[in-house]
Amino acid sequence: MKSAAVFLSVFLCPVVLLAERPAAVVVFAAGERALAQNGQNLDLEAQDLIYPGDEIETGADGNVSVQAFTGIIFHINPGTRIKIRDLASAASGESLFVELQHGTVGTIVSKGQSPAQVMIQTPTATASVRGTEFVVEAEEEGTTNVLVNEGEVQVQDPQGTRQSVRAGRMLRARLRERLAEEQLTDTHRRRMRFLEEFRSRRDEH
């Protein structure tokens, strides 16, 4: 099935790639997880450096937290595969580009840091925000869910329609369908509970 793109954007500007620099460091790793780096499959451990082009995959019980040097921390839930695509600099700061191939990723801000832009791309959406606490779910049937806990995300679909999604709301993006926004329900909030543990782990560092 051919993918379309839906763009969730806030801070877009010309960038310069910094491919030789590490983009992030692993701060927590548990359960089944793997790192694909330079064509090799490696064990993934805390303190490992992550470079543009690296891929991280978690199994059924795998959990990994990665702190980007842009001031954002990602928590990679079980059953997830991501690729760190690019680290780039621009006049407004640095940007990190992450490809979420499937699964769930949550983001929060590093304690005591001013975050730069982060972009998370799925087969059907790209979330681009600065300092926002949110969760992105890439489902197998081509659905992307963006659940916003703090801040605001602006959405643009392939037809050019734009929509802002604020804290306490979620947006669903599907191929060949209009963007659908709704209030976060108790079910949605339960799916976001891992952010609380994630935040506590951040505060310990």
- The pLDDT value recorded for residue 128 is 79
Residue 8 pLDDT level (bands cut at 50, 70, 90): very low
Closest CA to 82 of 119, 110, 109, 48: 119
- The pLDDT value recorded for residue 7 is 46
pLDDT digits (tens, 9 = 90+) for 72-115: 889 999 999 999 988 775 555 677 899 999 999 998 887 666 66
Query: Which helix or strand (DSSP H or E) is residue 82 part of?
Result: strand 81-90
Q: Are 192 and 167 in contact (CB under 8 A)?
A: no
- The pLDDT value recorded for residue 13 is 37
Residue 152 in tokens? 């605001």
